[in-house]
Amino acid sequence: MDALATRHWHALPDGRVQCDVCPRHCRLAEGQRGLCFVRAREDDAIVLTTWGRSSGYCVDPIEKKPLNHFLPGTPVLSFGTAGCNLACRFCQNWDISKSREVDTLADAASPEAIAAAAARLGCRSVAFTYNDPVIFLEYAIDTARACRAAGIHPVAVTAGYVCHEPRSHLFAAMAAANVDLKGFSQRF
Ligand code: SF4
Protein backbone atom coordinates (compact mmCIF):
# COMPACT_ATOMS: atom_id res chain seq x y z
CA MET A 1 0.00 0.00 0.00
CA ASP A 2 1.42 3.39 -0.98
CA ALA A 3 1.59 6.16 1.57
CA LEU A 4 -1.41 8.51 1.53
CA ALA A 5 -1.00 12.23 0.79
CA THR A 6 -2.31 14.39 3.65
CA ARG A 7 -3.29 18.02 4.10
CA HIS A 8 -2.62 19.00 7.73
CA TRP A 9 0.93 20.36 7.39
CA HIS A 10 2.81 23.38 6.11
CA ALA A 11 6.29 24.25 4.85
CA LEU A 12 8.64 26.24 7.09
CA PRO A 13 11.10 28.94 5.92
CA ASP A 14 14.05 26.80 7.00
CA GLY A 15 13.11 24.04 4.56
CA ARG A 16 11.50 21.70 7.05
CA VAL A 17 7.82 20.69 6.89
CA GLN A 18 5.67 20.97 10.03
CA CYS A 19 2.91 18.48 10.78
CA ASP A 20 -0.21 20.26 12.07
CA VAL A 21 -2.17 17.20 13.24
CA CYS A 22 -1.23 17.27 16.92
CA PRO A 23 0.37 19.75 19.32
CA ARG A 24 3.78 18.08 18.99
CA HIS A 25 4.12 19.94 15.67
CA CYS A 26 6.90 17.68 14.41
CA ARG A 27 9.23 19.54 12.05
CA LEU A 28 10.57 17.10 9.52
CA ALA A 29 13.44 17.04 7.07
CA GLU A 30 13.08 14.85 3.98
CA GLY A 31 12.80 11.18 4.95
CA GLN A 32 12.11 11.80 8.64
CA ARG A 33 9.13 10.47 10.57
CA GLY A 34 7.20 12.20 13.32
CA LEU A 35 7.12 11.03 16.93
CA CYS A 36 4.04 8.96 16.09
CA PHE A 37 6.21 7.12 13.53
CA VAL A 38 3.37 6.74 11.00
CA ARG A 39 3.36 10.26 9.54
CA ALA A 40 6.46 10.96 7.49
CA ARG A 41 7.93 13.49 5.10
CA GLU A 42 8.11 12.27 1.52
CA ASP A 43 8.79 14.55 -1.48
CA ASP A 44 8.37 17.74 0.59
CA ALA A 45 4.97 16.73 1.97
CA ILE A 46 3.64 14.79 4.96
CA VAL A 47 2.17 11.38 4.18
CA LEU A 48 0.35 8.76 6.24
CA THR A 49 2.25 5.49 5.92
CA THR A 50 -0.37 3.20 7.51
CA TRP A 51 -3.51 3.87 5.41
CA GLY A 52 -5.25 0.55 4.77
CA ARG A 53 -3.23 -1.50 7.26
CA SER A 54 -4.34 -2.88 10.59
CA SER A 55 -2.37 -4.30 13.52
CA GLY A 56 -5.27 -6.42 14.66
CA TYR A 57 -8.99 -6.91 15.32
CA CYS A 58 -11.05 -8.13 18.21
CA VAL A 59 -14.76 -8.31 19.02
CA ASP A 60 -15.42 -6.67 22.40
CA PRO A 61 -18.47 -5.57 24.38
CA ILE A 62 -19.04 -1.85 23.75
CA GLU A 63 -18.76 -1.34 27.53
CA LYS A 64 -15.04 -2.22 27.26
CA LYS A 65 -14.28 0.90 25.18
CA PRO A 66 -15.69 2.04 27.71
CA LEU A 67 -19.03 3.44 26.49
CA ASN A 68 -21.92 2.81 28.84
CA HIS A 69 -24.75 4.67 27.13
CA PHE A 70 -24.09 3.94 23.48
CA LEU A 71 -25.61 0.79 21.99
CA PRO A 72 -25.41 -0.94 25.42
CA GLY A 73 -25.07 -4.71 25.41
CA THR A 74 -23.82 -4.88 21.82
CA PRO A 75 -20.52 -6.16 20.36
CA VAL A 76 -18.03 -3.73 18.78
CA LEU A 77 -15.26 -4.57 16.31
CA SER A 78 -12.11 -3.08 17.83
CA PHE A 79 -9.42 -2.22 15.36
CA GLY A 80 -6.08 -0.41 15.44
CA THR A 81 -3.02 0.38 13.37
CA ALA A 82 0.44 1.14 14.78
CA GLY A 83 2.23 4.09 16.34
CA CYS A 84 1.02 6.82 18.72
CA ASN A 85 1.55 10.53 19.34
CA LEU A 86 1.81 9.95 23.09
CA ALA A 87 4.45 8.01 25.03
CA CYS A 88 2.69 7.01 28.26
CA ARG A 89 4.89 4.74 30.38
CA PHE A 90 1.80 2.85 31.54
CA CYS A 91 0.61 2.07 27.99
CA GLN A 92 -1.03 -1.37 27.90
CA ASN A 93 -0.72 -1.53 24.09
CA TRP A 94 2.95 -0.49 23.89
CA ASP A 95 3.78 -3.30 21.43
CA ILE A 96 1.35 -1.67 18.97
CA SER A 97 1.65 1.99 19.93
CA LYS A 98 5.45 1.98 19.83
CA SER A 99 5.86 -0.54 17.03
CA ARG A 100 8.62 0.30 14.57
CA GLU A 101 7.74 -2.59 12.30
CA VAL A 102 4.42 -1.48 10.84
CA ASP A 103 5.30 -2.85 7.41
CA THR A 104 5.73 -6.37 8.69
CA LEU A 105 3.13 -6.33 11.46
CA ALA A 106 0.15 -4.84 9.72
CA ASP A 107 -2.49 -6.68 7.72
CA ALA A 108 -4.14 -5.11 4.65
CA ALA A 109 -7.59 -3.80 5.58
CA SER A 110 -9.58 -1.51 3.30
CA PRO A 111 -12.32 0.65 4.88
CA GLU A 112 -14.95 -1.41 3.06
CA ALA A 113 -13.41 -4.69 4.29
CA ILE A 114 -13.50 -3.48 7.90
CA ALA A 115 -17.15 -2.45 7.59
CA ALA A 116 -18.00 -5.79 5.99
CA ALA A 117 -16.14 -7.70 8.74
CA ALA A 118 -18.10 -5.84 11.42
CA ALA A 119 -21.40 -6.66 9.74
CA ARG A 120 -20.39 -10.31 9.26
CA LEU A 121 -19.45 -10.62 12.95
CA GLY A 122 -22.71 -9.08 14.14
CA CYS A 123 -21.11 -5.87 15.41
CA ARG A 124 -23.18 -2.69 15.53
CA SER A 125 -20.09 -0.49 15.70
CA VAL A 126 -16.39 -0.29 14.85
CA ALA A 127 -13.95 1.27 17.36
CA PHE A 128 -10.66 2.89 16.38
CA THR A 129 -8.67 1.88 19.42
CA TYR A 130 -5.41 0.21 20.66
CA ASN A 131 -3.52 3.21 19.31
CA ASP A 132 -4.80 6.76 18.82
CA PRO A 133 -6.87 7.44 15.66
CA VAL A 134 -5.58 11.03 15.71
CA ILE A 135 -2.38 9.89 14.01
CA PHE A 136 -4.20 7.93 11.28
CA LEU A 137 -7.18 10.26 10.98
CA GLU A 138 -7.49 10.04 7.18
CA TYR A 139 -7.78 6.23 7.40
CA ALA A 140 -10.15 6.49 10.37
CA ILE A 141 -12.38 8.96 8.51
CA ASP A 142 -12.46 6.85 5.34
CA THR A 143 -13.30 3.77 7.42
CA ALA A 144 -15.95 5.67 9.39
CA ARG A 145 -17.65 6.66 6.13
CA ALA A 146 -17.57 3.07 4.86
CA CYS A 147 -19.04 1.90 8.17
CA ARG A 148 -21.86 4.45 8.10
CA ALA A 149 -22.69 3.40 4.53
CA ALA A 150 -23.07 -0.16 5.87
CA GLY A 151 -25.18 0.90 8.87
CA ILE A 152 -22.26 0.43 11.31
CA HIS A 153 -21.49 3.16 13.88
CA PRO A 154 -17.87 4.44 14.04
CA VAL A 155 -16.37 5.05 17.50
CA ALA A 156 -13.13 6.87 18.35
CA VAL A 157 -11.11 5.90 21.43
CA THR A 158 -8.54 8.66 21.82
CA ALA A 159 -6.54 10.86 24.15
CA GLY A 160 -7.81 13.85 22.19
CA TYR A 161 -4.29 15.24 21.73
CA VAL A 162 -5.08 16.90 18.40
CA CYS A 163 -5.11 20.35 16.79
CA HIS A 164 -8.33 22.21 16.05
CA GLU A 165 -8.80 21.63 12.31
CA PRO A 166 -8.02 17.89 12.19
CA ARG A 167 -10.05 17.48 15.39
CA SER A 168 -13.17 18.83 13.73
CA HIS A 169 -12.69 16.55 10.72
CA LEU A 170 -12.03 13.43 12.79
CA PHE A 171 -14.92 13.79 15.22
CA ALA A 172 -17.43 14.91 12.58
CA ALA A 173 -17.04 11.44 11.09
CA MET A 174 -17.68 9.61 14.38
CA ALA A 175 -20.93 8.52 16.03
CA ALA A 176 -19.38 8.31 19.52
CA ALA A 177 -16.06 8.89 21.24
CA ASN A 178 -14.25 8.05 24.44
CA VAL A 179 -11.59 10.66 25.25
CA ASP A 180 -9.16 9.27 27.83
CA LEU A 181 -7.52 11.46 30.46
CA LYS A 182 -3.87 10.32 30.48
CA GLY A 183 -2.41 12.56 33.17
CA PHE A 184 -3.18 15.27 35.72
CA SER A 185 -0.41 17.80 35.11
CA GLN A 186 1.00 19.84 32.24
CA ARG A 187 4.42 18.34 32.99
CA PHE A 188 3.04 14.85 32.32
S1 SF4 B 1 0.61 13.53 14.34
FE2 SF4 B 1 2.64 12.56 14.46
S3 SF4 B 1 3.95 13.66 12.99
FE4 SF4 B 1 2.10 14.91 13.37
S5 SF4 B 1 2.72 16.34 15.00
FE6 SF4 B 1 1.72 14.58 16.00
S7 SF4 B 1 3.40 13.15 16.51
FE8 SF4 B 1 4.22 14.65 15.02
Ligand 1: distance of its center to the CA of 50 in Å?
A: 13
Q: Which numbered atom of ligand 1 lies nearest the CA of 134? A: 1
Which pLDDT value is given to residue 101? 61
Q: Which atom of ligand 1 is nearest to the CA of 18?
A: 5
| Helix-, strand-, coil-residue percentages of the chain, each rounded to 5 | 25, 25, 50
* Nearest-angstrom CA–CA distance, 164 and 13: 23
Residue 72 has what pLDDT?
A: 97
The pTM of the whole model exceeds 0.75: yes
pLDDT of residue 169: 97
Q: Which of 139, 170, 142 is nearest to 22 (CA)?
A: 170
Q: Is any atom of ligand 1 closer than 6 Å to the C-beta of 35?
A: yes
pLDDT computed for residue 104 by the predictor: 45
pLDDT number for residue 1: 56
19 lines ligand 1 (CB under 6 A): yes
- Of the CA atoms within 13 Å of residue 89, those in its CB half-sphere come to 2
- Cα(56) to centroid of ligand 1, in Å? 22
Averaged over successive runs of 10 residues, the pLDDT of the chain (188 residues) comes to: 87 98 98 96 95 88 94 95 88 73 66 96 95 95 98 97 97 97 86
Q: Determine the pLDDT at residue 10.
A: 98
Q: Ligand 1 centroid vs 134 CA: distance in angstroms? A: 9
